[in-house]
């Protein structure tokens, strides 16, 4: 699934969490955060990046980042990336 907005993250996390039969409290414990933080993530997509990464890991989700356009020239991408 392509995620384009913070709210999209919340939709994915909630959907996968529910499908796996995990409640918000249990996911929060796995992620080292609070149930209210997971609730906020699912409702708004707003959270600390480490919480998002931990939630993805706990739910066996892989987060990948790609350039928005496949037409980027090689010179426009730093070789250090």
Residue 64 belongs to a domain: no
CATH number at residue 15: 1.10.260.40
How many folded domains does the chain comprise?
Answer: 1
In angstroms, how far is CA 11 from the centroid of its own chain?
Answer: 10
Arithmetic mean of pLDDT, 59-80: 73
Q: pLDDT tens digits for 9-53?
A: 999 999 999 999 999 999 999 999 999 999 999 999 999 999 999
Arithmetic mean of pLDDT, 71-81: 56
Residue 67 belongs to a domain: no
Q: Report d(CA 56, CA 20) in Å as an integer.
A: 13
Arithmetic mean of pLDDT, 55-68: 92
Q: Report d(CA 33, CA 37) in Å as an integer.
A: 7
Q: Which domain holds residue 30?
A: 6-58
Residue 44 belongs to a domain: yes
Q: Report d(CA 46, CA 9) in Å as an integer.
A: 9
User: What CA dihedral angle connects 64, 33, 8 and 22, to 10 degrees?
Assistant: 90
Specify the pLDDT at position 76: 55
* Structure-token pair, residue 20: 């796996």
Residue 69 belongs to a domain: no
Q: Report d(CA 50, CA 25) in Å as an integer.
A: 17
Single pTM value for the model = 0.78
């Amino acid at each position: 699934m392509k995620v384009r907005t913070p709210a999209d993250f919340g939709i994915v996390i909630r959907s996968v969490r529910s499908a796996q039969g995990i409640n918000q409290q249990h996911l929060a414990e796995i992620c080292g955060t609070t149930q209210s933080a997971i609730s906020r993530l699912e409702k708004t997509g707003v959270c600390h990046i480490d919480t998002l990464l931990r939630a993805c890991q706990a739910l066996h989700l892989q987060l990948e980042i790609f350039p928005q356009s496949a037409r980027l020239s090689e010179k426009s991408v730093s070789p250090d990336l």
